Amino acid sequence: MKLRHLIWKELWQRPTPMLTSLLAVTLGVTALVAIQNITVFSERKIAGDMESLGANVLVLPPSVTLQDYYGADMHGHTMPEEYVTRLALARLPGVENLAPKLCVEADVDTIPVTLTGILPKSEFQAKASWQGLGMLGNAVGSDRGCCATAADTGQADNDPNSLATTRTIAELGDRDVILGRDLASQLGAKTGDTLPLLGEDFTVLTVLPSTGTIDDGRMFAHLHSVQDLSGAGPVVNVIEIMACCEDAAGGLITNLSAELPETRIVTIAQVVQTQVAVNGLMSRLSWVFLSILLLVGGASIASVMYANVTERRKEIGTLMAIGASRNFVTQMFLGKAAILGLAGGAAGFIVGTIVAAVLGPQLLGIHVRPMPMLLGVGMASATIVAVVASLLPARRAAGLDPCLVFNDA
Amino acid sequence: MYQLSSVTQTYERRGQIVTALDNADLTIPDNDFIAIVGPSGSGKTTLLSVLGGMLAPSTGDVMLDGQSLYDLSVEERTALRGQKIGFVFQSFNLISWLTARENVQIPLMLSGKTAKQQEERAMEMLDRVGLSDRTDHRPSEMSQGQQQRVALARTLANDPQIILADEPTGNLDSETRQQVMNYLNEFHQDGRTIVMVTHDADTAAFAHRTIRLVAGVTHEVSMARAA
């Protein structure tokens, strides 16, 4: 028999108060693990999304408050399409491509749809004035060799499905529409079908693959068709710019603001920063939750340990009478606290990881995997709290007078 | 051998000084069997605590085998207790959630014996007190007499030179009391020193000497024969 055997047997002798303390510690670590797990994988997804996004700068009407990158054209505010021409003519270094958009509400067989007008790249080439500037033999700006790291303008964007990832398309007819996956399902439409829209018949060019964004519920048509048929005139809601990554992070924004002072320039980095800031807040909150719950757990453990010392006075006195040192008695209580901390930390890691694995896909559309590092953090923090909380009770136990073992003591 | 010289132990209770031991002198040679009797509050338990190295007297000296007990540190006294002194308690003081064998193993564990040595010695001691068939029983599964025999086995585990017994038969019926006293007598015949506090004259009659404590003062009563 060893000390650990003694601790283990005693632990199971009085399981209820210990399980209560264990629960508090477990909850603290669960909160930490779940939130940290979701935060980390959310940040990774954002980083991945940022990499895959072609457009990394948005030009918006000045009054717009951007809530969602994918919904940047859903605010109802407009600006002249002429800004697109101005941007192209400015030949700003770093601009790889431009994608103006106009978003209107429409109906297809009484089903309300969000119709987004987009300008295919071929449209730029059709504009003689731009061609005259020699910009469009290649992608906008790429002939200037500005990019050490080119934004992904999509080698495959001759495929209409490239709209899902690169936000641009090479060709789009006046009466063609592209459907998001969810909307196609809702309308029961497939490639080649004809849909009545704004009083005209449109042919479904393709159905986009699922993106997990609001684009899945949208319908895309030629910008000028949307402008004409909706009566909006030559305006757009947003101009998405595919910019060189380095330039988008550097002087490009200043140049764009100078070129279009009437607009608001937002980089995707800013949008991402907002999300990252939210994630950072969540991360910090997880530490706050951990601290609060571990404090509660620590207080609970301290209370249970004090009660345990009182309950076991005679037992401790007997042990001391038959040769147990104060150090042994202290170790008996701190060992018990360490077991509680380790068990609470491990249980919290398992529960927290399960919670993150369940809630991650549901709340944020992210898939999380266990993070072994959090097992170490959870177990270490829970054990430290449990041991520290038990220091005073253990000291009290070790300070008991062994004379209390006698009959009339 | 114990040698108590002018030992006085006082407590303060509600602002009043209570004298538990009053200038007590006592010599307990090796292999003595001594009964300490006296009314409640006369200082019997205090004397036992002082002899056990658990209560430093207010004044006076307590020598054990030529060494001043209370010149040792708390940890040294604890270690000494584990090696030389065994205790028998009125309410047995077994640990309720351990089996008989595990209870006997505790002092062996505290003295650093290996698990194998602990088990072998515990089985030997339980066999000696006639409980080899109850080794895996918990105290609640045993009679009072059996529990006291487990406690005796635990007392003997480290082969102590001295046994301090506090009302060892106080919770037992007459038949079991006889059995327990026979064991204590056996331990004495093995060469151990027994110091026993008791209220019971029949139990005290097993001792060689009887010391009466009255208001903290020791009085030698008799030199009786062992039963």
Complex ipTM value: 0.90
Do A116 and A227 belong together in one domain? Answer: yes
Binned at pLDDT 50, 70 and 90, residue A270 comes out as low
| Integer angstrom CA distances of residue A266 from A152, A205, B21, B170, B219 | 18, 31, 90, 89, 101
Q: Is the pLDDT of residue B27 over 50?
A: yes
Q: Is A156 on the interface with B (CB under 8 A)?
A: no
Burial of A125 (0-12, 13-18, 19+ CB in 10 A): middle
Mean pLDDT across A354-370: 85
Cβ within 8 Å, pair A2-B81: no
**A408 to chain B: which residues are within 8 Å by CB?**
40, 45
Q: Residue A401's domain spans which residues?
A: 3-48+275-405
- Does a structural domain hold residue A351? yes
Do A43 and A68 belong together in one domain? Answer: no
- Among residues of chain B, what percentage have pLDDT more than 90? 64
Q: Which of A394, A366, A384 lies closest to A39 in space, CA to CA?
A: A366
The CATH code of the domain that includes B26 is 3.40.50.300
Binned at pLDDT 50, 70 and 90, residue A21 comes out as confident
Do A376 and A315 belong together in one domain? Answer: yes
Mean pLDDT of chain A: 80
Contacts with B61 (C-beta within 8 Å, 6 or more apart), sequence order = B3, B4, B5, B6, B7, B68, B70
Cβ within 8 Å, pair B110-A328: yes
Binned at pLDDT 50, 70 and 90, residue A153 comes out as very low
Do A107 and A250 belong together in one domain? Answer: yes
Cβ within 8 Å, pair B52-A321: yes
- Structure confidence at residue B12 (pLDDT): 83
Q: Is the pLDDT of residue A48 over 50?
A: yes
| Domains contained in chain A, number | 2
- Does a structural domain hold residue A269? no
Do A310 and A222 belong together in one domain? Answer: no
- Does a structural domain hold residue B141? no
For residues A237-267, b (16+ Cβ closer than 10 Å) or e, as one string? Answer: bbbbbbbbbbbbeeebbebbeebbeebbbbb
Do A255 and A355 belong together in one domain? Answer: no
- Structure confidence at residue A265 (pLDDT): 83
Mean pLDDT across A80-100: 82
Do A257 and A290 belong together in one domain? Answer: no
Do A128 and A185 belong together in one domain? Answer: yes
Q: Residue B166's domain spans which residues?
A: 2-65+73-94+159-223
Contacts with A128 (C-beta within 8 Å, 6 or more apart), sequence order = none
Binned at pLDDT 50, 70 and 90, residue A124 comes out as low
Q: Is the pLDDT of residue A137 over 50?
A: no
Q: Is the pLDDT of residue B135 over 60?
A: yes
Q: Is the pLDDT of residue A200 over 60?
A: yes
Burial of A39 (0-12, 13-18, 19+ CB in 10 A): buried
Mean pLDDT across B75-87: 91
Mean pLDDT of chain B: 90
- Does a structural domain hold residue A365? yes
Q: Is the pLDDT of residue B140 over 60?
A: yes
- Does a structural domain hold residue A268? no
- Does a structural domain hold residue A131? yes
Chain B residue closest in CA terms to A322? B82
Q: Is the pLDDT of residue A293 over 60?
A: yes
- Does a structural domain hold residue A391? yes
**A323 to chain B: which residues are within 8 Å by CB?**
78-79, 81-83, 107, 110-111, 158
Mean pLDDT across A67-90: 78
- Does a structural domain hold residue B177? yes
Do A394 and A348 belong together in one domain? Answer: yes
Binned at pLDDT 50, 70 and 90, residue B102 comes out as very high
> Tens digit of pLDDT for each residue in A230-268?
999 999 998 888 776 555 555 677 788 888 888 888 876
- Does a structural domain hold residue A22? yes
- Does a structural domain hold residue B127? no
Do A254 and A373 belong together in one domain? Answer: no
- Does a structural domain hold residue A316? yes
| Domains contained in chain B, number | 1
Query: Least CB-CB distance to B110: which of A9, A322, A406?
Result: A322
